[in-house]
Amino acid sequence: DAMVIQNPRYQVTQFGKPVTLSCSQTLNHNVMYWYQQKSSQAPKLLFHYYDKDFNNEADTPDNFQSRRPNTSFCFLDIRSPGLGDAAMYLCATSPIGDISYNEQFFGPGTRLTVL
């Protein structure tokens, strides 16, 4: 089945220790998104890729970086995680075809704990 996969599902890291979250997709969608979601809050868009074009949200901290080496994979790097970065990180994809209908398909998420 075509899908969005995130690994790991649960990640524990130490305060200040770099961590990388990964996302892969078999949908062949052009657009990939990274969201941060804290409990009872809306998903917060961190950045997105339209093919290889990287788009950073203005309020995304420099501590967060992303890489998209090919269509299928996208990585979120947190260079020095703080306690406030503990959250669910959601990867989503979207096709660009009928641009007025941009449903986003989500992976299962990675829950990050910072100790």
Where on the chain is the footprint of another protein (CB under 8 A)?
40-43, 45, 48, 88, 90, 99-109, 111
Rounded to the nearest whole angstrom, what is the least distance from the CB of residue 100 to another protein in the complex?
5
Rank residues 3 and 17 by Cβ distance to another protein and give the closer one: 3
Question: Would strands 87-94 and 31-37 be described as parallel, antiparallel, or unpaired?
Answer: antiparallel
Interatomic CA distance for residues 7 and 53, integer angstroms: 23
Rank residues 3 and 115 by Cβ distance to another protein and give the closer one: 3
Rounded to the nearest whole angstrom, what is the least distance from the CB of residue 97 to another protein in the complex?
12
Tell me how far CA of residue 85 lies from CA of 74, 90, 95, in angstroms. 19, 13, 29
Rank residues 65 and 110 by Cβ distance to another protein and give the closer one: 110
- From the list 41, 15, 9, 23, the residue with the least C-alpha distance to 105 is 23
Rounded to the nearest whole angstrom, what is the least distance from the CB of residue 108 to another protein in the complex?
5
